[in-house]
């Protein structure tokens, strides 16, 4: 059975290692924070200028001056710091952030990513995504394997305008965990009950399948 959004978030949470600084994009990536085991020491950076983000505030304790990049009211944990946008992107560009998790509309078998613009539609902008993907050494994409029309979003080449080139390392979809290798998408895990054949059928880019593909372990 394909994962739901929470399932994807839970699986990605397993990629978060002790000592990581992590930047989470809007959407599914934001959910990941909820599923990182408490014994793992991790600090969340938000590009609008905070390191050491905590949970949402208790009702009535919202502070309009303390938000994340999704413009949500948040709190800080002990050891947190605030900084300006330039220093924030120095953290990102300078590879001080260990892991970036973000959504995508399309990913190519070479690791190109498109997640900011659909020609002909209203464009909201790339925000910090282009800086993040151009810099991060460890980028995990959380995305749906197919679009609403049932077409693959894991492509030979992206059809949409790019956000960055050859940058994605890993992809977690509702169907599979995949790694970008010099050959293309390498299938690492499949969602419980989802067959390799099915994953192949909805992956337009080259899919490398080596040996037996285990099911994802979640929870």
Distance CA 151, CA 147 (A): 5
Give least dist CB 23 to another protein, A. Answer: 11
**Residue 81 lies near another protein (rule: CB under 8 A):** yes
Closest CA to 207 of 217, 197, 216, 215: 197
Give least dist CB 59 to another protein, A. Answer: 4
Cβ atoms of 22 and 45 within 8 Å: the answer is yes
Give least dist CB 182 to another protein, A. Answer: 16
Rg (the chain; Cα; Å): 17
**Residue list 15-34, contact with another protein (CB under 8 A):** 19-21
> Given 15, 39, 43, 47, which residue is catalytic?
47
Q: Which is nearer to another protein, 35 or 83 (CB)?
A: 83
Give least dist CB 142 to another protein, A. Answer: 19
Of 81-89, 99-107, 138-146, 148-156, the segment contacting another protein by CB under 8 A is: 81-89
Distance CA 95, CA 135 (A): 6
Whether 208 is catalytic: no
Q: Which is nearer to another protein, 136 or 216 (CB)?
A: 136
Centroid of chain to Cα 67: 20
**Residue list 85-144, contact with another protein (CB under 8 A):** 85-97, 112, 122-131, 134-135
123 three-state secondary structure: coil
**Residue 169 lies near another protein (rule: CB under 8 A):** no
Cβ atoms of 202 and 175 within 8 Å: the answer is yes
Distance CA 47, CA 64 (A): 17
Closest CA to 56 of 80, 74, 77: 74
Q: Which is nearer to another protein, 84 or 217 (CB)?
A: 84
**Residue list 53-72, contact with another protein (CB under 8 A):** 55-72
Q: Which is nearer to another protein, 81 or 195 (CB)?
A: 81
Give least dist CB 193 to another protein, A. Answer: 34
Neighbours of 69 (CB within 10 A): 20
Active site (catalytic) residues: 47
């Amino acid at each position: 059975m394909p994962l739901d959004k929470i399932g994807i978030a839970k699986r990605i949470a397993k990629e978060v290692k002790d000592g990581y600084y992590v930047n989470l994009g809007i959407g599914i990536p934001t959910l990941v924070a909820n599923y990182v085991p408490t014994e793992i020491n991790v600090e969340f950076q938000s590009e609008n200028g905070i390191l050491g983000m905590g949970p949402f505030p208790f009702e009535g304790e919202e502070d309009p001056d303390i938000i994340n990049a999704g413009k949500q009211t948040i709190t800080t944990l002990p050891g947190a710091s605030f900084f300006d946008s330039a220093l924030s992107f120095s953290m990102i560009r300078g590879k001080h952030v260990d892991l970036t998790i973000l959504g995508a509309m399309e990913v190519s078998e070479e690791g190109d990513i498109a997640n900011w613009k659909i020609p002909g539609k209203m464009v909201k902008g790339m925000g910090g995504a282009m800086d993040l993907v151009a810099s991060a050494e460890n980028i995990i994409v959380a995305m749906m394997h197919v679009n609403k029309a049932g077409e693959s979003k894991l492509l030979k080449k992206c059809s949409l305008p790019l956000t960055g080139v050859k940058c994605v390392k890993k992809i977690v979809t509702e169907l599979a965990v995949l790694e970008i290798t010099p050959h293309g998408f390498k299938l690492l895990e499949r969602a419980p009950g989802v067959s390799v054949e099915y994953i192949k059928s909805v992956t337009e880019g080259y899919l490398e399948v080596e040996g037996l593909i285990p099911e994802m372990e979640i929870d």
